Structures are given as C-alpha cells and as structure tokens.
Chains A and B, each alone.
Chain A
Amino acid sequence: MGLLSGAARGLVRGADRMSRWTSKRGPRTFCKGRGAKGTGVHGRDGKFVQVREMVPELVVPELAGFRLKPYVNYRAPAGADAPLTAEQLFRDVAAPAIERDFRDGTFDPERLDKYGFEPTQEGKLFQLYPKNFPR
C-alpha cells in the first residue's frame, strides 16, 4: 500500500508510514543494508579484510546414485514414526552395553565414558550446552 493508493483511497495526505523503511526509499545519501551478514572486518587503512571463517561454505556430499527425490509417490502411506527423544536415544545406544556389563558384573560407575557419557563439554568443537552451533 504505497503513497498514491493511500491518497486515492481516503484523501489522506502525507508520507507513507505503513511500508518498510528500506534503502530503496529516502534520499540518495541514505544507504542501508537489507540484512546480509558481514564476511570480514574493515582494517585501519580503510581496506576490507575478508575472514574465511565468516564466509559460509556449503558442505554437500556426493549425490551420485542418491535414491531420494523431491516428491514422493502418492501410494506411500503416511509415516508412523515417533519423534526421537533423549530417552529413546539412550535406550537404543547406551542401554544395551550398560545392561550387558551389569550382568557380567563389570559395570563401573566411575568409568561411564565407555558408554558415551561426556563429563564436560570443554574441548569439544560442537558443545551441547551452551549450544555453540546454529542448528
């Protein structure tokens, strides 16, 4: 709803207050970004230094012979999978090993990292808490 349509509608004069204030409006000295993330820093001599870690890199695997396609056949029934919970993951991955060791009598509560327990998130690249990856 721009200025002209508003004026034609209700004979209201004045600037268009309802549209977004973007770099396409305003005088030619008004420059504003549209929300792109920066990829570097400005150096002291005025030059722009691009930082490789700030440039997004798409990691795509080899898709030759990949059988999943964008659309699905109409005959496929609706899936009946429950969302994965932490308890389900524990039962599938860690519980069998713990049960087996307990029955054998070799379960040691001090050595839980055998089953995947991480006492601290220090030193990990993708820490779970506080979460340091965007996904």
Chain B
Amino acid sequence: MPSYRLQTIRPMAFSVALHPAFLLVVLSLKTSRSEVLGEPFQLTPEILTVSTESKLQQVNLQWTVPNLTHQELKMAFQIEISRINTSNIVWVENYSTTVKWNQLLHWNWKSEIPLECVTHFIRIRAMVDDAKYLPQNSWSNWSSWKEVSVQVSVAPNTLLIFPDNKLLEEGSNVTICLLYGQYLYNVSCMLQKEPIHGEQLDSHVSLIKLNNVVFHSVSGTNIHCKAMNATKMIFGTVLFVSKVLEEPKNFSCETQDFKTLKCSWEPGVDTALVWSQQDSQSYTLYESFSGRRELCDHRNSHNWQITDDSQETYNFTLTTENNLRKRSVNLIFNLTHRVHQKAPHDVTLENIDARKANMTWKVLSRGNNYILLCQIELQHEREVIHEHNVSVHMSASYLFSDLEPDTKYKARVRCADANHFWKWSDWAQKEFCTPEAAPSQALDVWRQVRSENGSYVVTLFWKPLLKSQANGKIVSYNIVVENQDRLSESEHYSVPAPALGTQLSLDPCSYKIHITANNSVGVSPESVMVLSNDSGHEEVHEKRIKGTKDGFHISWEPTSGDALGYVVDWCVHSRDQHCDLQWKNLGPNTTSTNITSGAFKPGVRYNFRIFEKSMQQKAQLLEKQTGYTQELAPLENPEVTINNFTSNSFILSWPSYDSDFQSAFIEGYHVYLKSKEMQCHPKGKRMTLPDYWVLCEYEIKDPEQKAFTVENLRPESHYEFLVTPYTSAGQGPNETFTKVMTPDENSNMLLKIILPMTLCVLLIIIACYWKSQWVKEKCYPDIPNPYKSSILSLIKSKKNAHLIMNVKDCIPDVLEVINKVEGPKTQCIVSGNPHNEDVSMKPPSSVPTEDGSSGSVPFFFFENFTYDQSAFDSGSHGLIPGPLKDTPCQLGLLTPPEKLLNVLEKDYMKSLAESPTEETSLIYVSQLASPMGGDKDSLATNPPMPGHCSEYKMQMAVPGRLPSLALSENNSLTSEILLGQGEQ
C-alpha cells in the first residue's frame, strides 16, 4: 500500500477555500506521480519499545516503519543517543536493513556507563536507500526522544557501585559508576590496593574509568569505596577480569590406522573464572565436507572418528570460545598425507658373532603397493655409529657388519610413508652384545733396569690394551724370560689382570723377554724386549731442554741407521719416590717428538731418556734430557753456615740443592751483606739504605760454588747477610737477614793468655787445698815439734842435749781428771743479768813451772765463748779486752776458733797426758770485743760497751797461758805459739 507523509504536503493559499474533493484529486495525482516517476518520499520510523539489560549495560530498541507501502524496501536508519539531557549526544549510528511491510525492527547499543547511573535518551530517523527508487536526499523527521533509565533507589548513607560482578577481558576498559545515598560525600575508591580516581557527574553520581584492566585472580578483583564522612562503612564490588582467549597453536591431525584422526593443538592459557563467571574455554571441531561438528573432549586434542572411508580430504575448523571471545583456526589436508606409521614390530637380531649381526623386523602395511621408508640405527654407548635407510614392503632385514667383539650395541628402526612423508614412527629397538675374540694387538711394553746386589732388577711395564684391541676381558699377562747366554733356560710368569707391570730379579746375563695378553678366547701377538749385560749402566751426557706450558720438544741424534725405533721415557712424579714411568714408542725414522701431559707442572724438573731400539729389540740409551715446562724462582734459600769467623772476615758456606727439588736450573747465588757505613768490595754492588745502612750485593755466577768469603770487615761491628739462589725466573725468597757481630781484635790474644793463666791458678789452688794439711804440718804446725825446730839444730850445735825437756822426765804429783762439756753455746749479754755460764773453776793448784815459779795461773773450762760482762766486771782474767794487767801477753790469732779449740782440746788432753807441768789455762777472746782493725792502744783503752755485744761474732779461745799473741806493726794479727813465758 502506498504511504503518505503528511509533512511533505505544501497546501497552497488558495486551497483553503478549495473543496475537499479537490484535495483528494490533488493527492491522488501526487501519489501517482511519485510512484511513476520515482520521486523520493519520506518514511518516519516509530519507536515501539526501548528496553534495557542492566547486566549487559545494553539498550534494546524496537521500532516499525508505519507507512511502509512496499513489501520490501531497503532503508537506512540513524539512531541518536544522548546522555543526561537530549542535547548531549553521545552516540550516532547508521543502521541499514531491508524493511518488510509491518516488520518489527531491532537494534541494540551497549553503554560504556552503567545504565543505572545516568539517564539516556534515544531517537531514530529513516531514509529510503533502495536502488529501485530515486535516491532520497534527506532523512525523515526524528522520532520523538525516548528516555532510557534504570531506576535504582539509594538509601541514605549507602553507596551503590555499578556494574556489579562485571566480566571483562584483560586489557579492556570499564567505567565504574558510584551512586551516593543521602549524607554521603567525598567517596574514595581503591582497586585492590591501588587508589582509583574518577569524575563527579553530579552531586550523587561519579564515574571512574579504568583503562587496560589487568588480570589479578581467577577469584576476581575487588573494588571498594568509602566515604570520608562514613569511614567505617566500606562498599565494594568485584570485577571479574578474564585472560584474553588465545588462538590454538600448532593445530594438526594425523592417523595411524585410517580409523581415527587424532587432532591436537596447543590450547593456550585457561580463561576460567570462579563464581560461575566463566568456565574454561571450550573447543569445537567442525569438518566442513562432512558437516560434522564435535565438542572436543580435551583441551588440547580430540579423536575424530573416520566414518566415511571414501573421504580423502578433510577441512577442519577448530574453534575455541569463552563468554567474551571466540577464535578459530583452520586446517585442510589429505588423509593419506597425514599417516603416522606405527612402530615396527617383531624386531629380532640373528646370527650374532664377534663382527656382525643381522636384524629383521616387520611393518604394518596397507596393501601391496604401499611402500615404507625405514631408518635403521646402530648405537654404542648412546652414540649413533651407523645409520641407514631402506624401503620396506612388509618385512625387512639388515646386516650390521664391522662390529667390535665383546661390545654392547643397540639396534633400532623406525618407518614412515615413503610416498608422502609425514612423520617417523616411534622407534622399535633391540639391544645385543657381540662375543669376545682374541686380542688383536701386541702390548706396548717397556722396562726399567737397575742393579742390586750383583743382579738385575728388571721392572716390566705395559699399557692396557684398548677395548678395540683387547676384544674381551683380559684375564692375565704371560711373560717368558729367555736367557740368551744359556738358551736352554727360560722362565714363565703369569701376571693376573689388571696388573700393568711386574718385577723380575735376574742374573747379569742377556735376556729376551716375551710378553702377551690373554683373554678367554685367545692370546695377543707377543711383545719382545732384549736386555743385554750392560742394560741400566749406560752413561750419557745430560742435556738441558726448555719446555713450554704444553710439554717438551725432545730431539736426538740417531747413532745407527738400522734402528727399529726409539723410546722416550720419563717419570711423571720426579719429586716423589713413586716415579710413574711413562714412555712413548716412536718409529725408526723419527728424531724428535713432542711430549705432552696434563701431569706436567711448573717448577718441576722432568728427566727424559731416549733409547734406540735395535733390530734385535735391544734398547740402548742415547741421551738424557732434562728441563722444566716453566722455570720458577727458588722457593727456599740455602742454610748458610759461618766458618773462619774473625774480626775482619768470615766465610759463608751452604750445601747444594737436590736437583730434583729445584724449581728451576740454579744459575748462581746472590750474597747480600748489610751493615752501617760499610765499604763494599769492588766486585759488589753498593746500595744505600735508610739510617746509614749500606747493602752490598755480590753475585756468584757459578752455581757449583757453595762458599763466599766476606772480607774487610770492621771488628766489633754488626753485619747482616743473606744468601739466595737465582734462576732464570728470579731469585729466592727475601728472608730475614742473619745477624753477626765481628769480634774484638784483641779478644783472641786475651783469650790465649787469660785462659791458660786461669787454668794454672786454678790448678795451684786445687793443689794447695788438697795439700793444705801437709803444707800446714810442714810450714806452720799448730804445735811445733821441738825436735824438728830449727832452733834445735842451733841447740844441737851447742851440744846441749837436755835443753828440751822430755815428758817422761816429769813426775806428776797430782792427777786430775777434768770433765769437758762439749759444744759452745752462744750467749749474749744484752741486759745486766749475769751470765749463767756453767764454768767450772778449779782452784789454782800449785803446778810447777819450768822456771820454778808457782804462779797462780788458773785454767778453766768453758762451754761458750760469749763475752761475759760479769766476768769482765769481776776482773777475771779470762777475758781479754780489758787492760791486760795480769797477762802481759798480747792478742794474736793463729787459727779459726773452732779449729783452734779443737787443737786446744787435743793439745790440752795431750798436755795432760804428756806434759802435766804445762800450764793449760786459756784466755777467752771475743772477736766482738776486739776490733781487729784498731790499734792496740785503742784496744786497751776503749773497751767495748756492753751494747756492742748484741752482735755476735765469732769468738776464739787462746790458751791463757799463751799470751804471747803479738800485734804486728801494721796492726795485723800475726800468730805465734810460744812454748812458755820463759822462752818468749
């Protein structure tokens, strides 16, 4: 039905008065003209309903085109959406569609702002856009605005946050809207722990725009807000941020049996979220030729059943999808080109011997024309040693040759479609071991010879055979020693493996030694060595060589032209007792070789010997070479001893180093001498040190020189010296100098004089002491023998034989036994108390004297020679220091008091027995009271005060009858024993 737009009618002025019938005519004419001429016409849409889906923030619009008269007409619609008020247009969209008569049209729009927060308005207009009609140049009129709002009521002191439980993809943007209830203001929000800021839309609404949101947790991301005036109340919502759905990678399908297609892919990250917001993404396989669609049972694979055997080409679409996104990948292939062959089966190894083995296997075939390509590998110790490809129909075999005896191998095979290679099958494998064979190589042998107690001690060495040479486990080594001088004599030895040497003690003859290795199958070719009589005694010159960090280059001059070869040997551990002999066999035309070893160390001397092997297998020492891979400075200085030490020179000497312990070849020595203000020898190098010290350096260029004379020294001076060796790498360590001091020039002479003199004096003293009694007896006896007196000779000369009285001539008239109390007691008078000395006094008896006087000379016994004040006071003549009135004798010392007492006692008793007529009285003398250093006047006139007696001094007793003590002129006491007063 034709439709009319009343708005397009322009009534003329005169038509007001026209008749309605005229109007009808005009209208009908205009309509018919529009249809016929195709003139544009306007159709205004009419909005029927505007609904919302709050959760999706979506506005759904339904409208019709009321006056549409055509059955079908292409139209364009323009929809405008404004926010808050109608003038604030936020969205304009053109929508074209074919409109049918009386059709209900739909359109929806998603708002970025939750619909609960702001009111939206929507209107629509249309334009015919159909090629069958004249193009319309203008839109129809707008429909009236329709208000779109979601009514929510916000209680006072409450905050509503929209959207609620929003699901979105990581990296997307979202606008959060806050609706304040009454009395709330200044609301701040946080996303987890990060503050987020928004804009205030009006007094009750604010918006927070979050850009590029990140995935936080499958449990969602909390947003919480609180108002400044109600901080105790927290409001929140949860954003469920999903990871971005990834496209499946490496999508492929293959078959092993033409019954099932196994499709697999890498699924990517799981986008599942909790709270039923989003499950893990699903995977769907769709095959376009068959039109089948299957939901995959696994995230990364699906088995697709081949139902139609005739289908060769497959076009698969793998689609993955979650609540937010869908992604697809496509794969098209021919089934026969995607055959993944099953692994070969029935793999066997047959006819295995030491050198070869035969492998057989079967494959799954799809018909007579189906050819497979199989790959065969032989592995030994995880290393592929043989690889080969063969074409196979049903079954096949392959012969492995050149195998090693007694070796484990792994043989394996895999196959693939020969026509359309897709993938190799899995490996099918089998392990096997070849049996042993006899050793194929002669042993590499060498020897070391030394003499011991007139016989040879031969140490034989051999290197173990390589596995490829031993061909099995070596059980033992056989040694046959043939005496070349006595051919009938040969000895057999068997050395069990794994020994790599043995020692033989042989007589000094020539020998031929055969060495073989045995395994369980057979014997190796023999190695032969000949020992001559002079083996081990060769003397050759030793040459020095210079090594490098890699080793040594050894070269030599051949002595004969028919050498069978050469052998270079050396010890790995030259410093140790354990030599670990190494050797290297070289060909006949060789005159040099490089010896390398990881065991070579810097600073260690290695000694090499080069032997020439003759055609008779006899080895002759050609050369000795010695050297270092790297020479080092000496590690220690020699121990220096000082010899011939004089006041102006000494000799330094030191022992030689053991060459094996030298860290390099010693080229000489440096001698350093240090002293104050010293003059160096012209050959020395002078250096001035602080504090007037001078250092002289002397160089000894001969390493064999082991002594150095230091001369021109000053007596009684300090010197310091250091002797250090030097090599090409430097000199020895800077150790502490040894200090010496030169002696005095006269010291030797003095020593030569004083020492013998001292010895002589000592000898004399010892002799005198030893013979003191004898000397005393001879020279000054206590009681001189009158018969031996020189006076006697004078008397004798006068012929007066009776001058000396004989004891037996005296006739005693009284005999008295006197008890003598022994032991002196020390007593001292400090106070005025009388001394209670028990002195037994005998009344003086009338003893005839020689001169006939019967003077009353008393004698008394005493126990103590203490100075007795009472006795002194009483005027006893037993004490000397008083004025010697009664005893005109003088003081004198003869012997020490003890000895004197003894002598007196002895003589007293003797006198009792032999000379009863002699006066035996004693005069007791105190040394304390006798200042021996004083003169006799003072002695007599100045008796000591009693107080002086407090110091006890040795006292002496002199016979009271022997007052003949005289003071010499020089006041020294001299002693003289007088026979009697008459003789004085």
A and B assemble together:
no
Interface of B with A (CB < 8 Å)? Answer: none
